[in-house]
A and B are shown apart, each in its own frame.
Chain A
Amino acid sequence: MAHGPAKGISRWLFTTNHKDIGSMYLWFSFAMFFMGGIFALVIRAELFEPGLQIVEPAFFNQMTTLHGLVMVFGAVMPAFVGLANWMLPMMVGAPDMALPRMNNWSFWILPFAFAMMTSTLFMEGGAPNFGWTFYAPLSTTYAPDSVTFFIFAVHIMGASSIMGAINIVATILNMRAPGMTLMKMPLFVWTWLITAYLLIAVMPVLAGVVTMMLMDIHFGTSFFDAAGGGDPVLFQHVFWFFGHPEVYIMILPAFGVVSAIIPTFARKPLFGYSSMVYATASIAFLSFIVWAHHMFTVGMPLFGELVFMYATMLIAVPTGVKVFNWVTTMWRGSMTFETPMLFSIAFVILFTIGGFSGLMLAIAPADFQYHDTYFVVAHFHYVLVPGAIFSITAAVYYWLPKWCGKMYNETLGKVHFWLAFAGLNITFFPMHFSGLAGMPRRIPDYNPLWADWNMISSIGSLLFGAAQVLFLYIVIRTIVSGRKATDGVWDGAEGLEWTVASPAPYHTFTTPPEVK
């Protein structure tokens, strides 16, 4: 029969409970978010004005590399896995994840991976300094010694993600409550199912590419070394074959979160549920055939350039369908604007702006001018910060009352939103301008032509950072002293997770619910 959690530290070390593991994932990613944020602030501080003031170029490169790696693999991905752990079993009416023991491992190897990766900062020669895309031969022949630790860290993170994804697929396919057909699943479950397939398909490719690096560095192969018949461009093809689906791994669950929140606060069912499912699947499919749009300047033949350009432009279609559906869901609803809704609306607007710049980048001749400039930096931060980070934040505000049984402070939540919204736009919008004006990315120092934009960006980043400290305060305050939340929490919310008590009991749906 159902029993409560174990006492003390062993509860967390040995837990197989999806809610405990979900919480650990979320706290871990929160910690990584702050660490990656500090790296970002070092970057922005150095770029505050022209000239080198704070860090040396060699260290600056380590910061850009680690910022990217920590945010992608440490903050965004574990946060979504955490949300999946908490919500998927409750949404499909399952008692727990399908593979609870593996669930424990897949979390607990993560801290080791990141400890290993950040420890390289203190090694002679420094941390990885070749960018989060680690192009060969800069990351092989010319890499610092710490690259080997980086490779092992990536292997461990990959193993963690793969185990998490297998668990999610197994749960969704096998553990749904009677009557919960695939087309009745909440969209968050759908987007995670597709994301998990993407993870299973491409994380091994990432593992493969770092393995090939390892062999080139230590075992004399030449996958990426022209001298031995290899090709550094092959690295980019394999990397982006992983890298482009990876981008969607970070955004598809966000679509799911927003598709849960907007109907709740519009008090109206999601518009075009089935077209949303098909659009998600098409985006996932297209993500496998567009990778070389990251490599338009690499010297591909004209034919290849054209094929990848057309395929990339096509992605705008299913993405557009999603945005139109969200707007139509709001249309003639009865809307209120609590914090989760504010973050979701900001998501729709800002993600769309990121999508627009993505469409611009897809036009290959124009990409020759955008590529590797701050315009690209602006583009992917507009997609990832409002896309992934805002949706995760929205999800936390939306489900936190269910998790801990207490309500956050609405006023503080709104202050957080407006600070984050302002900080984000002040930080990243000027990057469009500095990029178009010709500023290359990944440089520690720059011409005065771009000084104003950079100064504004740096101020904005400080504001955005401060907003996240407030977020941490709000979450802790809610857990410690929030007022009691009702079981339904939101008056427009639909779904199985709202039928259980707040806070959700340690074990839910030990007997499957009946889904009509």
Chain B
Amino acid sequence: MAKHHKAIAQTSAKMAALVVAMFIFAVWVMPPIYDVFCDIAGLNGKTKGKYQAVEATADTTRKVQVRFVATNNNGMQWQFGPDQELVEVHPGQAFVTHFKAYNPTNNVMVAQAVPSMVPHNATDYFFKTECFCFNQQVLGPGESAELALKFVVDQEIPKRVNSIVLSYTLFDVTADSTEMVKQKLEEMAGELRNHSGAMQPELKLTTTANTITQ
């Protein structure tokens, strides 16, 4: 009977280890694997991260259409959109374009733009050397900004692909970025001090993003 108990304990320990391993797999392994997989397969239109430019010659024999689409996620109050909705680029040619963002609220707000691209097989050939989506963007009340996007379409892009859509969805992440809000407020206070006297601030600065909630 004692031998029995030992065997049962061993089996149970193995099974318990498997349980722990699977939990770790779900929480700590699957999300990164998924990201890697997305990178490889262009799953969900996730575009590649920052790309280091290499010398390339433009393939002037063909053109690829790139269309920019901007969406505001729920509750995002900025005005946000591309300067040019549609551009045509030669593969291999670096291209710069801008998005405009304007914060019409009375609060400092922080935004994160999330890029997504179709068709999926284009993501492997679309490289951003500079993008406002790499960082969170902060804008003071009534402030606007020109956000730069620099990209190059690889010459290797399949002949079948001649129209790419790059979408940016703008999310309000003010609540999770109190550090950035604080910094911005200090910056603004500093500027106000510099403009002494004449322009007394009527701006009311609040650290909470939304003074009006439900």
Residues of chain A having any CB pair with chain B under 8 Å: 98-99, 162, 165-166, 169-170, 173-175, 200-205, 207-209, 211-212, 220, 223, 226-228, 230-231, 233-234, 237-238, 241-242, 298-304
Instruction: Tally the A-B contacts, defined by beta carbons under 8 Å.
Output: 106
Take A174-B8, A237-B30 as given contacts and tell me if A169 and B15 are in contact as well, using a CB distance cutoff of 8 Å. yes
Take A202-B22, A204-B20, A209-B26 as given contacts and tell me if A223 and B43 are in contact as well, using a CB distance cutoff of 8 Å. no
B110–chain A nearest beta-carbon distance, Å: 10
B208–chain A nearest beta-carbon distance, Å: 16
User: Are B8 and A98 in contact (CB-based, < 8 A)?
Assistant: yes
User: Are A170 and B23 in contact (CB-based, < 8 A)?
Assistant: no
Against A, the Cβ 8 Å flags (1 = close, 0 = not) of B39-67 are: 00111111000000000000000000000
User: Closest 9 CB pairs between A and B?
Assistant: A208-B26, A227-B171, A204-B22, A204-B23, A205-B26, A301-B120, A166-B15, A208-B27, A174-B7
- Give the nearest-CB partner of A206 in chain B: B26
Against A, the Cβ 8 Å flags (1 = close, 0 = not) of B90-123 are: 0000000000000000000000101000001100
CB of B84 closer than 8 Å to a CB of A: no
User: Are B44 and A200 in contact (CB-based, < 8 A)?
Assistant: no
CB of B18 closer than 8 Å to a CB of A: yes
Query: Which residues of B are found within 8 Å of A220, using beta-carbon distances?
Result: 176
Q: Can you report 28 A-B residue pairs in the complex whose CB atoms are below 8 A from each other?
A: A165-B15, A166-B11, A169-B11, A170-B11, A174-B4, A174-B8, A175-B4, A200-B15, A200-B22, A201-B22, A202-B22, A204-B19, A205-B23, A207-B23, A207-B26, A208-B22, A208-B30, A211-B27, A212-B31, A220-B176, A223-B31, A226-B169, A227-B114, A227-B171, A227-B172, A231-B34, A301-B43, A304-B41
Query: Which residues of B are found within 8 Å of A241, using beta-carbon distances?
Result: 26, 30
A454–chain B nearest beta-carbon distance, Å: 33
Complex CA gap A233/B34 in Å reads 10
Complex CA gap A223/B11 in Å reads 34
User: Are B4 and A233 in contact (CB-based, < 8 A)?
Assistant: no
User: Are A166 and B16 in contact (CB-based, < 8 A)?
Assistant: yes
User: Are A227 and B112 in contact (CB-based, < 8 A)?
Assistant: yes
Query: Which residues of B are found within 8 Å of A298, using beta-carbon distances?
Result: 44
User: Are A238 and B26 in contact (CB-based, < 8 A)?
Assistant: yes
User: Are A173 and B43 in contact (CB-based, < 8 A)?
Assistant: no
Complex CA gap A35/B171 in Å reads 41
Take A202-B22, A209-B26, A226-B171 as given contacts and tell me if A299 and B8 are in contact as well, using a CB distance cutoff of 8 Å. no
A285–chain B nearest beta-carbon distance, Å: 16
- Give the nearest-CB partner of B29 in chain A: A208
CB of B210 closer than 8 Å to a CB of A: no
Query: Which residues of B are found within 8 Å of A204, using beta-carbon distances?
Result: 19-23, 25-26
- Give the nearest-CB partner of A173 in chain B: B11
What is the interface size of chain B, counting residues whose CB is below 8 A from a CB of the partner?
A: 36
Query: Which residues of A are found within 8 Å of B22, using beta-carbon distances?
Result: 200-202, 204-205, 208
Residues of chain B having any CB pair with chain A under 8 Å: 4, 7-8, 11-12, 15-16, 18-23, 25-27, 30-31, 34, 38, 41-46, 73, 112, 114, 120-121, 169, 171-173, 176
A98–chain B nearest beta-carbon distance, Å: 5
User: Are B114 and A226 in contact (CB-based, < 8 A)?
Assistant: yes
- Give the nearest-CB partner of A207 in chain B: B23
User: Are B31 and A234 in contact (CB-based, < 8 A)?
Assistant: yes
Query: Which residues of B are found within 8 Å of A223, using beta-carbon distances?
Result: 31
Complex CA gap A249/B7 in Å reads 26
From A99, A169, A212, B27 is in contact (CB under 8 Å) with A212
Query: Which residues of A are found within 8 Å of B45, using beta-carbon distances?
Result: 299
- Give the nearest-CB partner of A208 in chain B: B26
- Give the nearest-CB partner of A169 in chain B: B15
B161–chain A nearest beta-carbon distance, Å: 13
Complex CA gap A289/B30 in Å reads 14
Query: Which residues of B are found within 8 Å of A201, using beta-carbon distances?
Result: 18, 22
B19, B23, B114 — most chain A CB neighbours (10 Å): B19
B128–chain A nearest beta-carbon distance, Å: 16
A196–chain B nearest beta-carbon distance, Å: 8
Complex CA gap A144/B15 in Å reads 36
Query: Which residues of B are found within 8 Å of A230, using beta-carbon distances?
Result: 31
- Give the nearest-CB partner of B46 in chain A: A231
From B7, B19, B114, B169, A200 is in contact (CB under 8 Å) with B19
User: Are A162 and B44 in contact (CB-based, < 8 A)?
Assistant: no
User: Are A234 and B23 in contact (CB-based, < 8 A)?
Assistant: no
- Give the nearest-CB partner of B171 in chain A: A227
B18–chain A nearest beta-carbon distance, Å: 5
- Give the nearest-CB partner of B19 in chain A: A204
Query: Which residues of B are found within 8 Å of A169, using beta-carbon distances?
Result: 11, 15
B39–chain A nearest beta-carbon distance, Å: 12
Take A202-B22, A204-B26 as given contacts and tell me if A228 and B8 are in contact as well, using a CB distance cutoff of 8 Å. no
User: Are B8 and A99 in contact (CB-based, < 8 A)?
Assistant: yes
